[in-house]
Amino acid sequence: MTATELRLRTFDRIVFFTGAGMSAESGVPTYRGKGGIWREYDFERYACQAAFDRDPDAVWEFHNFRRGLVAACDPNDGHRLIAELEAHRSNTCVITQNIDGLHQLAGSEQVTELHGSLWRCRCDQCGAHHTARENPKAPIHCECGAYWRPDIVWFGDQLESSNLDAAVAAMKACDLFVSVGTSGVVFPAADLPLVAKKNGATLIEINPDVTPISEVYDVCLRGTASAMLATLAGD
């Protein structure tokens, strides 16, 4: 199937599976590309449970830096297009690896955040939760006195089973799977395209670059998220 043969209207149940490249045009750095976060910061010092247990202040300094940076970023045309498609077509959903909340800010409602959210904190001492998008600097201590923990899936963490179950169910139900801006190297999220393929969905990859699983896709649209989503939706 070629890109020009693709017509969104011929599909009933669409999953948009997004990664950091979805938000690149909004000014949010990706993780592994040029200027990527993990090229500048060692995740073993700033974004894993052992680092948080060892030095919670350093972890919070890193996450407040990221919250401040993302708070200044707006959804891009790609986020808005996906939200519009969802508004006009039932059975459209977003399964995102991103923690920036830009899909929701653009108006998407059916969003599963596989890796948590930069805007949510939880207290592993007393079970309290706290959300504050408007306030980039999160309070560091819960009322019980323990440190708030960013409610993010860090390397080595298990994904929330309810989120993973929702993602797998969406993969099994969709007839079109559109991956946007992910390098496809972090598991178990990177396995999700294979679940959709096994269930007979058509797979589209939107990414300026080739990825390790590009050959799994039926069509690869080599360009940026907003431009290629506009091409896809332009039917």
Q: Which residues are catalytic, by number? A: 115
Piece of 4-12, 139-147, 165-173, 208-216 that binds ligand APR (CB under 6 A): 208-216
Provide the minimum distance between the beta carbon of 76 and ligand APR in the complex, in angstroms, as a whole number. Answer: 8
42/174 Cα distance (integer angstroms)? 37
Closer residue to ligand APR (CB): 33 or 56: 33
Alpha-carbon distances, residue 52 vs 44, 55, 57, 59, 68 (angstroms): 10, 5, 8, 6, 19
51/58 Cα distance (integer angstroms)? 8
Query: In the chain, helix, strand, coil percent, each to 5?
Result: 40, 20, 40
Provide the minimum distance between the beta carbon of 82 and ligand APR in the complex, in angstroms, as a whole number. Answer: 13
Scored b (16 or more CB within 10 A) or e, 170-205 reads: bbeebbbbbbbbbbbebeebbebbebbbeeebbbbb
Strand 92-96 versus strand 176-180 pairing type: unpaired
Residue 20 binds ligand APR, judged by CB under 6 A? yes
Residue 112 binds ligand APR, judged by CB under 6 A? no
Residue 18: closest CA among 71, 70, 82: 82
Piece of 17-25, 82-90, 131-139, 170-178 that binds ligand APR (CB under 6 A): 17-25
Please pick, from the candidates 3, 12, 32, 87, the single residue that binds ligand APR as defined by CB under 6 A. Answer: 32
Please pick, from the candidates 33, 49, 168, 218, the single residue that binds ligand APR as defined by CB under 6 A. Answer: 33
Strand, coil or helix: 72? coil
Closer residue to ligand APR (CB): 43 or 146: 43
Please pick, from the candidates 21, 75, 101, 136, the single residue that binds ligand APR as defined by CB under 6 A. Answer: 21
Structure tokens at 196: 């959709």
CB-side exposure of 7: number of CA atoms within 13 Å? 4
Residue 75 binds ligand APR, judged by CB under 6 A? no
Piece of 1-9, 30-38, 171-179, 193-201 that binds ligand APR (CB under 6 A): 30-38
Q: Contact positions toward ligand APR, by CB under 6 A?
A: 19-21, 24-25, 30-33, 36, 97, 115, 181-183, 186, 206-209, 211, 224-225
